[in-house]
Amino acid sequence: MTDAPSESSHDLAPLSGLGPLENIKVKLAVEVGRTEMTIRDILNLKEGSVVELEQLAGDPLDILVNGTPIARGEVVVAGERYGIRFSSIVDPADRVATG
């Protein structure tokens, strides 16, 4: 995204200088929501089916790195693509505890 990073209560300065680790690629994903379904319900899905998720419309979305929640945010349009605007960052200590 082209927006300047917003100020956060979490100081990223201690993370600088990680050397070779800074070039390791990770998977960033945005989770819209989840639900539980029976296998029968999944087998009955067809084109046009709608699956209701636990997440409410307008709620912030979970942003995950390699499956670990790191932030919450909202979907934005960036040119012809979707993007995500971070609205809150998970405290790094909490990431380690839940990761």
Written as six digits, the tokens of 10 are: 């979490």
Does the predicted TM-score (pTM) go above 0.85? no
Written as six digits, the tokens of 64 are: 């995950």
Q: What are the structural domains of the chain? A: 13-98 (2.30.330.10)
Phi (first) and psi of residue 88, to 5 degrees: -155, 145
Chain segment 45-85, per-residue pLDDT in tens? 999 999 999 989 889 999 999 999 999 999 999 999 999 99
